Structure 1
Amino acid sequence: MNAELGKKIKFHRLNQNRTLEGTAEGICSLSYLSKIENGNTKPSDEIMKLLFDRLNIQFDLDSDDMDEEQLEQDLHEWYSMIIQRKNDQATEHYLRLKQEVQNNVSPSVLALFKLFEVRYHLLMRHLSEVPVLLEKLDRMDEMFEEKHQYYHFKFKGLFANLSYRYMDAHSNYTNALSILNIRPMNDFEKSDLYFLIAINELALQNVTLCLHYTRLALDLYSINFDFRRSADCQILLGICYKRIKQYDRAEEAFNLAIKAANYLQEPSLKGVAYQNLGNLYAAKDDYQQAFKHFEQSLVFKETQNFKGKLTTIASMVEALFELDDQSQLMEMVDRGLLMVTDKEDYKLFEYYFRVYKLRVLGDQISLEHYLKETVIPYFQDNEDHQYLANYCELLSECLQANKKYKDACYYLSLANYSYKRLSKN
């Protein structure tokens, strides 16, 4: 009992970012508090009550384990909603559980809540909330049980992936996987980790590993009749097959995803599948077919997320540029610009559309100036080497056409440097 109470004090102290000195002040010595936290002494009820009061924890030697067992079950139900992307239900449960948990539960249950809270904010894309939560969890890491360590690594990996730190994500996912391999977990948990790893490996250009983990996830989703996540896996497989130029297998995978989307009546899933079919035909230089699929994608994305629509419009612009359909191209460019003007979070799309507009107009002087003074500095500041390489190459071509060979050489070397940085990441 002493060890559990001491562990509870330490956990809540760390959660509240309190020092040993500040917590012990006026109650007991620092060394005595350290002994209490480590279970090496039996303090009086009076001292324990004072410490619990300081930490705003309910002092109850006869806590109801059954209540905490039920609460932990509720937490896992909430987590299941998060993984299944049931945003509204997950939010409703989050608000309720946040009130129920407070500071009156065991360290184990509170740790689970804090961990699942990270995953909830990642689902909702509240990315600014996550670093503070992870910092708290890092402080408490030494007290975690194996199950807590697993979720800690997994969610740190997901946050790193969403922050484009793919090697950090890889490292954390590897640690989570090592725990998964020795700790019995259900298919639901295994398939989710495999799928997240697959997405990250694709970002790292590790197509073989992406295929491996996608197939592992797909097998488990199929066994459990999870058609939605199976369709996600088919899209991921299709992207991998496209990367290695197995175009027939890629098309088959995307069509299987569309079939699942029809069965599930999920237009957003169809929008993603048609987008990838368009990308596939663009990779084969069949821009007529690519454009048709992009048009279908946009229809199904019309009521969906803003960024998804912008991605499809950008793809349509590229296809029309290749088809030299300048009239329709300008219409799509203007449509895209109308959507992103004065939206700071969508600078990437604004630059994309403005560059294409200048290329269609044939205004080489304005294009050169815009790339040199606005676009390239933006991607340099943000260390986005993929876009930096692409726009440096374009500027180099523009400068060569204007016989500015020295400047062209400089931007071509900058593009090559960016490609090298990408290969190292």
Structure 2
Amino acid sequence: MIRGEKIKYFREKNKLTQKQLTSGICSVPYLSKVENNSIVPSKEILELLCKKLNIEYDELLQSSSTNEIKKLIYCWYDDIKARKRSATKDHYINIEKKMKGIKDIELLSMFHLCATRHFLLLREFDSAEEQLAHAEKYIEYTPKETAAYYYYFSGLYEYLKGHFQKALELYLKAKDYVSEPEYHYQLALIYSRLGKITLSIFHSERAMEEFHKNIQFKKVIDCYILLGIDYNRINEHSTAITYFEKALKGIESLPDIGHLRIHIYHNMGIVYHKMKKPWEAIEYFLKSLNARNDLQGGELTIYLLANNLFQLNETEDATRWITKGLELLKGELNETYCLLKILQFQVSKRRNDEDYKIFLEEIALPIFQKKDEFMYIRMCYEQLGDYYYRKKQYKRSSEYYCSANQVESSFI
């Protein structure tokens, strides 16, 4: 089958209007219908159009070699979804060689989109961005199903960069044409990060059902973990614990599950933290840290551990863990650094210092806002409300409390 978008691509590439291209061949409305795939033109008309476009008629057709490469790309994408990093690297090298001299725009867009997803898997963001730019040149001229994956993978790129609202906007552009369970799982992750918990649960359950059907048990466990996180965030603690226990049971039958165990223990600690059961929380945070080969990457767990120690007035231990967390970050100014510094001010009883207010307003709050970290934004507003209340600046205090309540209302 000949796609009309290809004719449109070559026409615009040659800087021809529809009127210029159709002169002496067919009418402008006829060409519009061809470009929109409303009608299938005769071979005679196609050959005349190709002559004017300076291309061979065969360039509009799917060759056997093109179909072979398509099959390879589909296999490549399957391995990407299965997170087989070594296999995806081999696919990339092999298919890139076969793409030399290829002019088929649909195949080019498919290759660049799959390469984008490949580099996102490897967290090579510069290469992913470069592949997206290549794909963008062809998206207007490819089927809507292919174009949807451009928005899908662009959204994933933005999500991994921490731009959650932008990621959501792009994902929703793909919703009518992308139905794979991984899409719904990732959409659930975005909704969770944006505090839209009802929507996150809906898409998590939809993804989980499909993963079950496809016998993708590792993905089912990912859904258990996300559902546990979501139910905890809306204070359905017993439901959250049930999902985390299912996840712990499920990973026993899977190889190479160390990172999942770390993640599950960390989140079970958060459940007990929210339930105001610091001893139980500390137990799970320590389990999470002990499951690591080293503490690098466990800075957020360390913050939560120190926070619960502080609640128990174990200030010496809390201070020791805060110091360890800050050392591991090596000066990196991110969300976890801000959380550790805020806790450090609190443990050292410096919440009335102007430096604390300045840190919250000028450093922590902008970082949390940039990353759409609504829970931490709310925490900053509450801390600033408390600060100004203690300073008897009641109007300013009230403004921050109102801001905190507005953030709270976004969690539905």
> 1:173, CA displacement in angstroms?
3.6
Decide whether the 8 Å contact of 1:238 with 1:250 is kept in 2.
yes
1:391 matched to 2:389? no
Q: How many residues align?
A: 391
Mapped partners of 1:113, 1:349: distance in 2: 37
The residue that corresponds to 1:290 in the other structure is 281
Decide whether the 8 Å contact of 1:389 with 1:416 is kept in 2.
no
1:268 matched to 2:267? no
**Compared CA separation, residues 110 and 9, structure 1 to 2 (3 A):** farther
**Compared CA separation, residues 248 and 342, structure 1 to 2 (3 A):** closer
Counterpart selection for 1:301 from 288, 292, 305: 292
Decide whether the 8 Å contact of 1:385 with 1:418 is kept in 2.
no
Mapped partners of 2:245, 2:126: distance in 1: 37
1:241 matched to 2:231? yes
TM-score by length of 1: 0.77
Q: What 5-or-longer segments of structure 2 have no aligned partner?
A: 26-30, 36-44
Q: What 5-or-longer segments of structure 1 have no aligned partner?
A: 53-58, 181-188
> 1:178, CA displacement in angstroms?
2.4
> 1:165, CA displacement in angstroms?
4.8
More helix by share: 1
1:357 matched to 2:344? yes
TM-score by length of 2: 0.79
1:320 matched to 2:309? yes
Counterpart selection for 2:146 from 148, 165, 177: 148
The residue that corresponds to 2:42 in the other structure is none
Amino acid at match of 2:307: E
Decide whether the 8 Å contact of 2:154 with 2:170 is kept in 1.
yes
Counterpart selection for 2:321 from 320, 332, 342: 332
Cα offsets for 1:358-406 (capped at 9, x unmatched): 22122342434543554345556777665344223213323433xx222
Identity between Structure 1 and Structure 2 (%): 20
> 1:251, CA displacement in angstroms?
1.3
The residue that corresponds to 1:186 in the other structure is none
Cα offsets for 1:310-330 (capped at 9, x unmatched): 221122122112122111111
Decide whether the 8 Å contact of 2:152 with 2:170 is kept in 1.
yes
> 1:45, CA displacement in angstroms?
6.7
1:42 matched to 2:48? yes
Mapped partners of 1:209, 1:383: distance in 2: 17
Amino acid at match of 1:178: D
SS at 1:271 equivalent: helix
Counterpart selection for 2:199 from 187, 209, 218: 209
The residue that corresponds to 1:55 in the other structure is none
> 1:76, CA displacement in angstroms?
1.2
Cα offsets for 1:72-129 (capped at 9, x unmatched): 1111111112212222322332233223224414222211112212222332333445
Cα offsets for 1:37-84 (capped at 9, x unmatched): 9676726879737xx9xxxxxx97698822222211111111112212
Decide whether the 8 Å contact of 1:160 with 1:166 is kept in 2.
yes
Decide whether the 8 Å contact of 1:274 with 1:297 is kept in 2.
yes
Decide whether the 8 Å contact of 2:164 with 2:372 is kept in 1.
no
1:278 matched to 2:269? yes
> 1:220, CA displacement in angstroms?
2.2
> 1:168, CA displacement in angstroms?
4.6
SS at 1:178 equivalent: coil
Cα offsets for 1:341-362 (capped at 9, x unmatched): 233xx43222222222222122
Cα offsets for 1:278-310 (capped at 9, x unmatched): 111111111111111111111223359x54x12
The residue that corresponds to 1:94 in the other structure is 92
Decide whether the 8 Å contact of 1:379 with 1:387 is kept in 2.
yes
Decide whether the 8 Å contact of 1:393 with 1:412 is kept in 2.
no
The residue that corresponds to 1:417 in the other structure is 403
1:193 matched to 2:186? no
Cα offsets for 1:214-265 (capped at 9, x unmatched): 2222222223322211110111221232234332222121011112222213
> 1:133, CA displacement in angstroms?
4.4
The residue that corresponds to 2:38 in the other structure is none
The residue that corresponds to 2:219 in the other structure is 229
Decide whether the 8 Å contact of 2:388 with 2:396 is kept in 1.
no
Mapped partners of 1:61, 1:176: distance in 2: 28
SS at 2:140 equivalent: helix
The residue that corresponds to 2:40 in the other structure is none
CA-atom RMSD, angstroms? Answer: 3.8
Mapped partners of 2:184, 2:5: distance in 1: 37
Mapped partners of 1:169, 1:62: distance in 2: 34
**Compared CA separation, residues 383 and 79, structure 1 to 2 (3 A):** closer
Q: Which has the higher contact order (CA 8 A, sep 6+)?
A: 2
Decide whether the 8 Å contact of 2:194 with 2:374 is kept in 1.
no
Counterpart selection for 2:69 from 68, 71, 95: 71
> 1:148, CA displacement in angstroms?
0.5
Amino acid at match of 1:233: C
Amino acid at match of 1:246: E
